[in-house]
Amino acid sequence: MNLTELNRIATAMVAPGKGILAADESSGTIKKRFDAIGVESTEENRRDYREMLFRSKDAMSQYISGVILYDETIWQDAKDGTPLVKLIEQSGAIPGIKVDEGTQALPMCPGELVTVGLDKLAERLKKYYERGARFAKWRAVIDIGGGIPSMTAISVNAHALARYAALCQAAQIVPIVEPEVLMDGDHDIERCYEVTSRVLSKTFQELRVQRVALEGMVLKPNMAISGKKCAKQAPVEEVAEKTIRLLKACVPAAVPGIAFLSGGQSDEEATAHLNAMHKLGPLPWGLTFSYGRALQAAPQKAWSGKAENVAAGQRAFSHRAQMNGLASKGEWQSSLEKKAA
């Protein structure tokens, strides 16, 4: 393992002004997104859509540091035969790959999930590296509800995240470690804080036990935020203050960067929260976005599966990428959104 090189890539992934495009929707998830805009989820449509994003020159070269791909996408070619991975490299961004194989019910723990995909992961990583992937992603899902999460669910998911991260580093690939505490319930921000704190503490304990080099990884956490169905929604400043307090307590400064998931926040909320956190600096790690929905909802709608809408889709993507790029430096203002509308 060349730790200097892993650290160089991890640092580039969270460079100020840039963040990560999470375009790694599995077949089931992209179908849901396409259903919402009335587009059939064929292999060709998925390719055309993602090609549109990766050919968005302004966004990709100025605001996107890396792209997380799904297995299908990493092997696909653009319409003109150029591998999609090459389009990403040519834009200056780093290609990455989602390597988990989704979730399964966790035995003895009703309503809880464990992420799977460790079998043969070492062989798969080798092939992804040869294809150009320089980082990977594995997402654990922790739900908050009556009596959950259990310590069992937190432990097994943290263990799998650390196993995955160690395998990545051995294959010279930077692991994005994503323990996502869902914001779907009616819990308040305090409960999210408490659960996320337990999840992050356990995850870093496992990473240490399994000898993962913290200098060669990126953390992709949720923010400390109110559940979507909670009657009392914490304001932007509180989300920012609690998230930074939580991360300072749980994430060692040796970690080069933290790149948030958006988790179902609106586009503008996700941007505003990241921006507000940068007002609380200096911070010990790079802090940016690794958004899926909060970067893609607007371009999906603008594109709607029509070739004549490609330019509009790219404009919508560039706008969101730019807004989040500014937020990653604390330079975003809501008036910039109004100007673009």
Task: Kindly report the number of other CB atoms within 10 A of residue 247's CB atom.
Answer: 24
78 and 47 Cβ atoms separated by less than 8 Å: yes
Nearest-approach distance from CB 291 to ligand 5MM, in angstroms: 4
The whole-angstrom separation of Cα 32 and Cα 25 is: 10
Paired tokens of 97: 């790959």
Map residues 67-106 to x or -, x wherever contact with ligand 5MM holds by CB under 6 A.
-x--------------------------------------
Nearest residue (beta carbon) to ligand 5MM: 292
The whole-angstrom separation of Cα 34 and Cα 49 is: 10
Nearest to 280 by CA among 317, 246, 310: 246
303 and 52 Cβ atoms separated by less than 8 Å: yes
Active site (catalytic) residues: 178, 220
One of 175, 179, 263, 313 touching ligand 5MM (CB under 6 A): 263
In this structure, the chain runs to a length of 341
One of 8, 15, 26, 106 touching ligand 5MM (CB under 6 A): 26
Asked if 171 interacts with ligand 5MM (CB under 6 A), we say no
Nearest-approach distance from CB 102 to ligand 5MM, in angstroms: 6
Nearest-approach distance from CB 146 to ligand 5MM, in angstroms: 24
Paired tokens of 282: 């200096």
Determine if the peptide bond prior to 282 is cis (ω within 30°): yes
Nearest-approach distance from CB 29 to ligand 5MM, in angstroms: 3
Of the pair 66, 216, the CB lying nearest ligand 5MM is at 66
From the list 38-46, 115-123, 197-205, 288-296, the region that binds ligand 5MM by CB under 6 A is 288-296
Paired tokens of 235: 């304001």
Determine if the peptide bond prior to 149 is cis (ω within 30°): yes
Asked if 45 interacts with ligand 5MM (CB under 6 A), we say no
One of 142, 240, 261, 276 touching ligand 5MM (CB under 6 A): 261
Asked if 267 interacts with ligand 5MM (CB under 6 A), we say no
One of 6, 12, 13, 22 touching ligand 5MM (CB under 6 A): 22
One of 128, 204, 291, 317 touching ligand 5MM (CB under 6 A): 291
Asked if 297 interacts with ligand 5MM (CB under 6 A), we say no
Of the pair 25, 206, the CB lying nearest ligand 5MM is at 25
Alpha carbon separation from 87 to 36, 56, 66, 77, 278 (Å, rounded): 27, 10, 12, 9, 31
HEC string for 226-288 = CCCCCCCCCCHHHHHHHHHHHHHHHCCCCCCEEEECCCCCCHHHHHHHHHHHHCCCCCCCEEE
Asked if 135 interacts with ligand 5MM (CB under 6 A), we say no
Of the pair 238, 269, the CB lying nearest ligand 5MM is at 269
Applying CB under 6 A, the residues found at the interface with ligand 5MM are: 22, 24-26, 29, 68, 139, 180, 261-263, 291-294
